[in-house]
Amino acid sequence: MSVGRLPTGRRLLVALGGLAVAALLAVELLFPANPITDIAVVLATIVVDANYVSSVLRLTVPIAFAALGGIFAEKSGVINIGLEGLLIISAFTSLAAAAALGGGDPNQTQLWLGFGIAVLVSTLFALLFAIVCIEFKADQIIAGLAVWLIALGLAPFASKVIWGQVNSPTIGTFDDWTVPLLAEIPFVGPVLFDASPMVYLLLVAVAASWYVLNRTAFGRWIEASGENPKALDTVGVDVRKVRYAGVLLSGFLSGIGGAGLAIGRVGQFIGGGTTMINGRGWIGITAYLFGNYNPVGAFGGSFLFASLDALQFRLQQVGYNVPSDLIGIIPYVTVVVVLAFVGRTRIPSAAGEHYESGEE
């Protein structure tokens, strides 16, 4: 029996088995001293390490917010691959606005104001993208790439104008929110009840996104707009407005992700190379494909990919220098394997297609 004829569950096992074998071969090639046992001990240790899990949750924030935004846009029928650019714009704007409001040393209120301004600017960028794609019927892929390239050039340029260099000065970040008593619970307390406000926002956003998409009329409109816009139009719902809403939500959520990274964790905008975003928007796209357009699945994929990133640093701390490039390709390889062997991810039928009310 060929792999293609196997049931979905068995195909998933074959795919995971293939990945495991490939990972073992990579370890053997990269570490001739054969440290698999040592690495297994490290892995067994960190999964029960609250500091490691807390770190992973913080790394998950920009990826998962971009993924949630991508879900709303693409399920409505507009493919927004400009998520990376929206993260860059919001990261830069949050730093610039907070620093300007606080004279270089913003307090918590000024950080939140900078955060709000960044989310607004990201949403406005998404609005421009929506106008180009919906009103002028531009190619969505090319328009999304344009958003990314504009942000990639504009943010470092603006940094040079403001600070004389592509990197901003360092400022403070959001204080952690601690829930009295609950924060004292072993393992769970430090992870969930003594965390960055961005982590709380993320957990709320995942639950809210799932509820909106699966339990509300707006969620059904979003899905119908991406699957069968003519049917939605027939019952009197304006497809254009639904698609605008989907794209604007992608800008709103990506804005939270970018600003959450810049002033929620790092406290600086880094504009060199691929900027401090460094592909997190692209990984967000792979995360929602991995999660089959389900917010909970997208969060799981984001958490998985962020955990690999954190694992790289942890292995370096114990003496194993895993190349960051190798870690960086894992999300994309995983999606290819899932799409090829499992085949559960199904792109909305009308995604990427323009729609004019009344057309046949």
Q: Over 90: is that where the pLDDT of 316 sits?
A: no
> Percent of the chain scored above 90 by pLDDT?
67
As a whole number, the mean pLDDT across the chain is 87
d(CA 194, CA 58): 12
If you search the block for the tokens 């003519």, which residue do you land on?
A: 230
Rounded (10°) CA dihedral 297, 177, 276, 286: 0
Q: Which long-range contacts (CB under 8 A, 24 or more apart) does 7-15 make?
A: 8/342, 8/343, 8/344, 11/341, 11/342, 11/343, 12/341, 12/342, 14/341, 15/337, 15/338, 15/340, 15/341, 15/342
Model confidence at 42: pLDDT above 70: no
Name the H helices within the chain: 8-30, 36-46, 50-75, 83-101, 108-130, 140-163, 188-192, 197-215, 217-227, 229-234, 239-261, 280-290, 295-317, 324-337
Residue with tokens 């323009």: 354
Give which of 71, 69, 83, 78 is closest to 145, Cα–Cα: 83
- Write the pLDDT tens digit of every residue in 45-100: 666 788 889 999 999 999 999 999 999 999 999 999 999 999 999 999 999 999 99
Q: Count Cβ neighbours within 10 Å for each residue of 239-257 and write b for 16 or more, e otherwise.
A: bbebbbbbbbbbbbbbbbb
Element (H, E) at 194: strand 194-195
pLDDT tens-place string over residues 253-284? 999 999 999 999 999 999 999 999 999 999 99
Label residues 184-215 b or e (16+ Cβ within 10 Å = b): eeeeebbbbbbbbbbbebbeebbeebbebbee
Q: Which of 25-34, 191-200, 208-217 shows the lowest per-residue confidence on average (mean pLDDT)?
A: 25-34
Report whether 74 contacts 140 (CB < 8 A). Answer: no
**Count of residues for the chain?**
360
Q: Tell whether pTM > 0.95.
A: no
Q: CA–CA separation, 343 vs 8, rounded Å?
A: 8
pLDDT for residue 28: 58
Q: How many CB atoms lie within 10 A of CB 93?
A: 26
The answer, yes or no, to whether residue 317 has pLDDT greater than 80, is no
> What's the CA gap between 177 and 192, in Å, rounded?
10
Looking from the CA of 61 toward its CB, the CA atoms found within 13 Å total 28
Q: Rounded CA gap, 46 and 318, in Å?
A: 12
Residue 346 has what pLDDT? Answer: 83
